[in-house]
C-alpha cells in the first residue's frame, strides 16, 4: 500500500461502527477501516456516536430511542458518506428513524437529510466507490447468508456476492434457503427462544450441508446466533463478517 493511498485522496467517510460491533466484535469495524483506507478513503470515527436505537424500537420502546436518533443526526449530520458494517443498523437508520422522529418536525427534517447518506458497507463499495474487486485474498471455502435487513429492508441485493466473487482464492458456495431468516431477530431470540432456535438449527444444517469452512454475512448479530448454534454442535465452521473477508490480504489474513 503506497503512502499516498494510505493518506487517502478518496472521499471522507464517517464510520458508524454500531454499538454491538464496537463492544462485542471490534474486529469488524477495524477491518472496515483497513479496507476503506486501502481503497483511498479518509476514514473518521466520530467518538460521540453511540447506537441507532434499533433494539429499543423493535422491543416497543421507540420513545426511548428519540434521544439516540437526535444524537445520530448531530454526530453524522456533517458527513456526505456514513458507512456501517451492519445491514440491520443501516436499516434501522434509514427505515425506522423517520418513523421515530415523525412527531418532531425539526428532527424529522434532519433525519430526512441524514438517513439517506447512511450506507451499508457493500452499498458504499459498489455504488459510491464503484468497485467490486477490492484486492482481497481469502483462500477458503465460504458460504454467504444474506441477512434479512440487508436483503429486504435496505435491499443490498447481490452487492455482497459481487464483492465476494472478486476475492482471490475464494471458493464461494451457494447456501440452500439462503434468503430465509436465521431466527435471530433481536429480542425475538430470547422472547421466542424455541422458535428462534428451531430456525437457527435449520439454517445451521444448511450451512453444514455446503461443506463451507466459513460462513459470512453482513451482520454480526445474525452470525452470533447461527455461530452459536454451529458452535454448540462443535461443527468447526467459522463465522466472519463480510468486512473481514474483504479486508483480508496475503499479508494480513482474516
Partner 1 sequence: MSPDPAHDRAVDGGAGHAAYPPVQVTSPTFVGMPKFPKAARAELANAQQRRNLRHATHTIRDKRAHVVAEVDDWEALRVKGADAKDEALTHLADYLERLEESLTANGAVVHWARDAAEANRIVVDIVRAKEVDEVVKVKSMVTQEIELNEALEAAGVSAWETDLAELIVQLGHDRPSHILVPAIHRNRKEIRDIFVREMGAVGRPAPEDLTDDPARLAEAARLHLREKFMRAKVGISGANFAVADTGTLVVVESEGNGRMCLTLPETLISVVGIEKVLPTWDDLSAMLQLLPRSSTGERMNPYTTMWTGVHEGDGPQEVHVVLLDNGRSHVLADRVGRQALRCIRCSACLNVCPVYERTGGHAYGSVYPGPIGAVLNPQLRGTASDIDRSLPYASSLCGACFDACPVRINIPELLVELRGKVVEESGPTAESAAMKAAAWVLSDPRRLATAQKAATIAGRLTGGRTIRSVPGLGAWTNARDLPSPPTETFRQWWVREHGNEDA
The answer to the question of residue 149 lying near partner 1 (CB under 8 A) is yes
* Alpha carbons 125 and 47: distance in angstroms, whole number: 23
Contacting partner 1 within 111-130 (CB under 8 A): none
Tell the smallest beta-carbon distance from residue 183 to partner 1 (Å). Answer: 6
- Selection from 207, 181, 246, 183 nearest residue 35 by Cα: 246
The answer to the question of residue 190 lying near partner 1 (CB under 8 A) is yes
Q: Which residues pair with 238 in a beta bridge?
A: 214
| Residue linked to cell 472478486 | 166
> Considering all CA atoms of the chain, what is the largest pairwise distance in Å, rounded to the nearest integer?
53
Considering only residues 41, 51, 156, 164, which one is a binding residue for partner 1 as defined by CB under 8 A? 51
Contacting partner 1 within 228-247 (CB under 8 A): 228-229, 231-232
* Alpha carbons 116 and 97: distance in angstroms, whole number: 11
The answer to the question of residue 96 lying near partner 1 (CB under 8 A) is yes
The answer to the question of residue 191 lying near partner 1 (CB under 8 A) is yes
Count of residues interacting with partner 1 (CB under 8 A):
71
Question: What phi, psi does 163 have (nearest 5°)?
Answer: -70, -40
Tell the smallest beta-carbon distance from residue 133 to partner 1 (Å). Answer: 27
Helix (H, G, I), strand (E, B) or coil at 244: helix
Helix (H, G, I), strand (E, B) or coil at 193: helix
DSSP character at residue 186? T
The answer to the question of residue 194 lying near partner 1 (CB under 8 A) is yes
The answer to the question of residue 108 lying near partner 1 (CB under 8 A) is no
Considering only residues 115, 148, 216, 245, which one is a binding residue for partner 1 as defined by CB under 8 A? 148
Contacting partner 1 within 9-38 (CB under 8 A): 14, 17, 19, 21-27, 29-30
Tell the smallest beta-carbon distance from residue 191 to partner 1 (Å). Answer: 5
The answer to the question of residue 86 lying near partner 1 (CB under 8 A) is no
Tell the smallest beta-carbon distance from residue 6 to partner 1 (Å). Answer: 13
Considering only residues 39, 41, 56, 115, which one is a binding residue for partner 1 as defined by CB under 8 A? 56
The dihedral over CA atoms of 155, 158, 164, 165, expressed in degrees to the nearest 10, equals -170
For the chain, what percentages of helix, strand and coil (3-state, to nearest 5) are there?
A: 55, 10, 35
The answer to the question of residue 186 lying near partner 1 (CB under 8 A) is yes
Amino acid at each position: 500500500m503506497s503512502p499516498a493511498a494510505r493518506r487517502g485522496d478518496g472521499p471522507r467517510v464517517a464510520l458508524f461502527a454500531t454499538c454491538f460491533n464496537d463492544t462485542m466484535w471490534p474486529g469488524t469495524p477495524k477491518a472496515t477501516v483497513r479496507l476503506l483506507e486501502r481503497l483511498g478513503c479518509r476514514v473518521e470515527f466520530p467518538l460521540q456516536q453511540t447506537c441507532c436505537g434499533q433494539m429499543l424500537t423493535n422491543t416497543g420502546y421507540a420513545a426511548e430511542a428519540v434521544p439516540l436518533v437526535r444524537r445520530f443526526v448531530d454526530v453524522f449530520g456533517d458527513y456526505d458518506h456514513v458507512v456501517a458494517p451492519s445491514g440491520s443498523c443501516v436499516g434501522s437508520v434509514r427505515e425506522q428513524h423517520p418513523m421515530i422522529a415523525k412527531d418532531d418536525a425539526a428532527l424529522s427534517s434532519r433525519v430526512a437529510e441524514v438517513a439517506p447518506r447512511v450506507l451499508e458497507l457493500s452499498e458504499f463499495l459498489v455504488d459510491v466507490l464503484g468497485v467490486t474487486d477490492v484486492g482481497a485474498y481469502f483462500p477458503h471455502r465460504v458460504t454467504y447468508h444474506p441477512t434479512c435487513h440487508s436483503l429486504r429492508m435496505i435491499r443490498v441485493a447481490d452487492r455482497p456476492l459481487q464483492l465476494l466473487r472478486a476475492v482471490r482464492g475464494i471458493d464461494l458456495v451457494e447456501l440452500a434457503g439462503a434468503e430465509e431468516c436465521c431466527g435471530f431477530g433481536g429480542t425475538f431470540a430470547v422472547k421466542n427462544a424455541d422458535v428462534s432456535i428451531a430456525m437457527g438449527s435449520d439454517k445451521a444444517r444448511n450451512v453444514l450441508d455446503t461443506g463451507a469452512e466459513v460462513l459470512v454475512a453482513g451482520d454480526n448479530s445474525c452470525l452470533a446466533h447461527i455461530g452459536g448454534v454451529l458452535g454448540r454442535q462443535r461443527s468447526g465452521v467459522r463465522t466472519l463478517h463480510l468486512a473481514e473477508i474483504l479486508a483480508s490480504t496475503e499479508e494480513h489474513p482474516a
